[in-house]
Amino acid sequence: MDLNALQSFYDGYSINAYEIFGAHMTEEGTIFRLYAPNAKSVRLIGDFNGWNREANYLYKSDLGFWETKIPYLEEYARYKYVIESARGEFVEKADPYGFYNENRPDWGNKVVNLYHEWQDGDWMANRDRNFEKPMNIYEVHLGGFRHNWADQWLNYGEMKDVLIPYVKEMGYTHIELLPLNEHPLDQSWGYQQFGYFSITSRYGSPRQLMEFVDACHNAGIGVIMDIVIVHFLKDSFGLGNFDGTPLYESSDPNYAESQWGTHYFDFSKNIVKSFLLSSAGLWLDKYHMDGLRVDAVSNLIYFHGDKTKGENREAISFIKRMNYHLHQNFPSAMTIAEDSSDYPKVTGDPSDGLGFDYKWDLGWMNDTLKYYKEDPEYRHYDHNLINFSMAYFFSERFILPFSHDEVVHSKGTIIDKMWGSYEDKFRQCRNLMVYMYTHPGKKLNFMGNEIASFREFDEMKELDWFLLKYPLHDSFKRLIRDLNMVYRHNEAFWKYDYSWKGFKWIDADNAAARVYSYIRYDDEKCYIVLLNMSPNSWEQFRVGVPTYGYFTEVINSEKDIYGGCNMCNFHKVQARKGECNGFKYHLDVRVAPYAGIILEAKMR
């Protein structure tokens, strides 16, 4: 054993403690190691000893952990630990560092080998964190995407043949997977877990997940996974009171229990820091994940996510440590914060910030959806809900999210949040998507948003794919695909995402007309974006532009192929001399009710 690695574990800096602890298959047998310093005894039960508690005891080494070796174990052999506390109580526990578990409602571990012969060398060699590249993410719950003929979840292998071609067809750059750590309750979607080193057996084996990620990379698709480092479930077989003492949680009841009915991790303990840092490292190391999205960061920054209770200094220190060491060891992998707080420099360097690469812009999401819910006749009163985002946007590297959280718990789906009739909802949702794709920042959409699903997400059902039989839904999907393609293949929409060099307002203050206009730039082209948030139309809507020449309409959300009224600019629009909106030139553009329009021209 590497004693330096073990010391790093005790010091709270280990990024690969899974190489020490857990069950490891070797030529001489399978070595089991467990950290349970306050246990009176530890026993190993499993298939190999008939679940006999007296058959296999672990011995406690001078190095502070329990260990034993079992010869001739086959892969997928099942096992559990029996922990005897100092008070003589016996509790069966899952291995905190186990790599695989039985399928719910069982929870025992399985011995597995995490070796995979990867075929993604080119992808990994050329991967980076996408700061000056397009990134439009398709967020997926694997169980709710598509089912088989028997209405059952697809496994990782089947997902290769279904999800990857769909993501390619639609033009997304990345898939983001809701947590795949082992968890007992389907309804938690993986956010209340116990297997911090174990992929869920719902969809297959570790090797099958590796093959899925490998296939994504060879198809040019990145894979991001959600992780949860704030809290863990209370079930008796999990981490809670693990060795008869609160080993992973706080002994102070004021800080032990979370708002979700789970235990908070105690970040004052070095072994907790190594445990979580190594869990994150596992997904990047063994599974080649391209990024990790950290859930509920505001609950790490503040006790219980409540700013009035003060900063959680230990957790903040851990976040900085985690981001620093992940980037040192996996420099091309991303870390992403799902953070609803106004804490500064979340994407700042760990020396004076938290060290994440990206942060979800939940303020943008809330303001935007609030605006689109309003009756258009009254939107002029809340005009700043749309233009406010650009007042702060370059303070962080933001991702614009319409995530799973916005289509559950009776909130209504994205299209159902839109104001008005069935047809009005489609008009405004098409406009919304043009706005999202042309606003600075990377993009994220939860599955189902692209087909304008009216049913909220249900983890037990597949998406309502039958909706594509209806023209408005099928046309909406086509708009999303076309927006993805326009976004990906035009540098103006991502090259300068986090700089004023790539964005300029034309008119941010036209509340009376309820029309917003702005420019996205690259080094050669400019794109004029007009968003009509009203039911009014104009045959000639005048807008200032930075260059002369001809502008070509590349997207109009009211084009007939998207289900619109087809009031479009079918011919090139000539920019003419004449000051408007502070520019020397102007265009006169046809603007349909609720139209979202993108016009392209070369800079001259």
Q: Classify residue 124: in a domain, yes or no.
A: no
Tell me: do 410 and 476 sit in the same domain. Answer: yes
Cα 174 from Cα 167, distance rounded (Å): 8
Tell me: do 566 and 427 sit in the same domain. Answer: no
Half-sphere exposure of 413 (CA within 13 A, CB side): 21
pLDDT, residue 517, reads 98
Catalytic residues: 295, 338
Q: Classify residue 294: in a domain, yes or no.
A: yes
Q: Classify residue 29: in a domain, yes or no.
A: yes
Q: Classify residue 451: in a domain, yes or no.
A: yes
* Least confident segment among 255-259, 306-310, 450-454, 535-539: 255-259
- Among left, alpha and beta (phi > 0; psi -120 to 50; other), residue 377 is alpha
> What CATH number does the domain containing 459 carry?
3.20.20.80
For 351-388, the pLDDT digits (tens) are: 999 999 999 999 999 999 999 999 999 999 999 999 99
Look over the chain and give the mean of its residue pLDDT values, rounded to a whole number: 95
Tell me: do 458 and 527 sit in the same domain. Answer: no
Cα 358 from Cα 131, distance rounded (Å): 9
Tell me: do 340 and 478 sit in the same domain. Answer: yes
- Residues 342 and 382: beta-carbon distance below 8 Å: no
> What CATH number does the domain containing 563 carry?
2.60.40.1180
Tell me: do 443 and 311 sit in the same domain. Answer: yes
pLDDT, residue 259, reads 82
Closest residue by Cα to residue 171 from 432, 450, 404, 428: 450
Cα 82 from Cα 39, distance rounded (Å): 10
Domain boundary among 488, 522, 537: 488
Domain boundary among 488, 516, 547: 488
Q: Classify residue 428: in a domain, yes or no.
A: yes
Show contacts of 470-477: CB within 8 Å, 24+ apart. Answer: 471/563, 472/423, 472/426, 472/563, 475/561, 475/562, 475/563, 476/415, 476/426, 476/429, 476/430, 476/450, 476/451, 476/452, 476/562, 476/563, 477/170, 477/450, 477/451, 477/452
For 536-592, the pLDDT digits (tens) are: 999 999 999 999 999 999 999 999 999 999 999 999 999 999 999 999 999 999 999
Task: Please give the tally of structural domains in the chain.
Answer: 3
Tell me: do 510 and 479 sit in the same domain. Answer: no
What are the backbone dihedrals phi and psi of residue 182, each rounded to the nearest 5 degrees, phi first? -65, 135
Show contacts of 302-308: CB within 8 Å, 24+ apart. Answer: 302/341, 303/255, 304/258, 304/259, 305/259, 305/340, 305/341, 307/341
Which residues contact residue 519 at a Cβ distance below 8 angstroms, ignoring those fewer than 6 apart? 503, 504, 505, 506, 526, 527, 528, 529, 545, 546
Distances (CA, A) of 169 to 69, 212, 335, 479: 49, 17, 26, 13
Tell me: do 362 and 436 sit in the same domain. Answer: yes
Cα 492 from Cα 504, distance rounded (Å): 12
Query: DSSP readout, 509-527?
Result: --TTTTEEEEEEE-SSEEE
- The residue range of the domain holding 350 is 135-488
Crossing angle between the packed helical segments 362-373 and 422-438, to the nearest 10 degrees: 150
Q: Is the per-residue pLDDT at 252 higher than 90?
A: no
Q: Is the per-residue pLDDT at 1 higher than 70?
A: no
Q: Classify residue 550: in a domain, yes or no.
A: yes
For 274-300, the pLDDT digits (tens) are: 999 999 999 999 999 999 999 999 999
What is the mean pLDDT of the segment spanning 519-544?
96
Tell me: do 253 and 327 sit in the same domain. Answer: yes
**DSSP element (H, E) containing 488:** helix 471-488
Secondary structure (H, E, C), 453-472: CCCCCCCCCCCCHHHHHCHH
Domain boundary among 488, 516, 531: 488
Task: Work out the percent of the chain whose per-residue pLDDT is above 90.
Answer: 91
Q: Classify residue 81: in a domain, yes or no.
A: yes
pLDDT, residue 258, reads 83
Tell me: do 457 and 565 sit in the same domain. Answer: no
Tell me: do 340 and 378 sit in the same domain. Answer: yes
pLDDT, residue 154, reads 94
Name the burial class of residue 41, with classes exposed (0-12), middle (13-18) and buried (19+) by CB atoms within 10 angstroms of its CB: middle
What is the mean pLDDT of the segment spanning 74-98?
95
Tell me: do 504 and 480 sit in the same domain. Answer: no
Q: Classify residue 394: in a domain, yes or no.
A: yes
Tell me: do 358 and 482 sit in the same domain. Answer: yes
> What CATH number does the domain containing 24 carry?
2.60.40.10
Task: Work out the percent of the chain whose per-residue pLDDT is above 70.
Answer: 100
